[in-house]
Amino acid sequence: MTANTLAGRDLLTMADLTPAEVRLVLDRALAHKDLWPRRAAPRPTLAGKKAALVFMKPSLRTRVSFECACANLGIHPVVLGPHDAFSREETVHDTVKTLERYVDVIVLRTFEQAHVEEVAEHASVPVVNSLTDDHHPCQGLADLMTIEERFAKLAGLTLAYVGDGNNMANTCLLAGALTGMHVRTASPDGYAPAAAVVEQARALAEAHVTGATIAVGADPAAAVAGADVVVTDTWASMGQEAEHAERVAAFAGFTVDEPLFAQASEGAVFLHCLPAHRGEEVSPGVIDGAASAVFDEAENRLWAQQALLSLLLEGSES
């Protein structure tokens, strides 16, 4: 049995994990998905634990999947909105030092990556980044699980990310680096993934000798050609609504439509973390077509996060 090296840890970006730890999460997630619906797994495994689920941004999939994961594991979820936590000018330090007296894990969906890092700096309980403007590691784990379900492997596959160089682009780069996938991105000028993250992905691939390659460009066709997995995301994320018209103009030609997707490999799969804007970053024919796995992705948020919570809290005292 592989040792659980994640107990008591934080997950702030994919780079917090080693390849072996990604494998640990995926193996447990796949086991939970297989066993739980058949009621073949013992439950609840973490009765008496409490989780603070803090949402500074609106949420559907993240909130419901984390709440359901908590319910499956016997964890009591305490859901807090933007007016409940980190509000009324209370410092992050004081908020965290209060929360950690009540709960065993803090799950935070917020804007700046620096916010979740500051929370983790002060917290004595595990902190999970459930989305920031720069990283989305829980979605990354669900995406890896979805890809592996389709191809029965990760290493050696080619993943093409087309669109905004945002939290999902960063997460794809780091996830690919850790699992030996070849990652190509295509973004308009001015919207490429952060150079620091690109270099971090290359450094991770080299340090862990995963065989992954990282290529960043501005040509969607070149990125998608022969790819096994094609990923995109909304062009205007939460907090960027005022830039919508400007971004739609800038991203002209970056829609994942049927002609572009046809350049991927035979049997390629399409992923999107949702919510999707049909007619903008993806055509209805692609996201609603046979190659789309977007609802498998959505479901796998539950299993990946359930596995992650169980590993983080395993052996902890309430």
Please list the active-site residues: 109, 136, 139, 233, 273, 301
Which residue, 131, 146, 143, 145, is CA-closest to 66?
Answer: 131
Token couple for 218: 């501005």
Element containing residue 53 per DSSP (H, E): strand 50-55
DSSP state of 241: G
CA 184, CA 227: separation in Å to the nearest integer?
9
CA 23 to chain centre: 15
DSSP string, 3-20: ----TT--BSSGGGS-HH
Find the helix packing angle between 19-35 and 167-179, rounded to 10°: 100
Class of residue 50 by CB neighbours under 10 A (exposed 0-12, middle 13-18, buried 19+): middle
* Segment (H or E) for 129: strand 127-131
Place of tokens 């080693």: 18
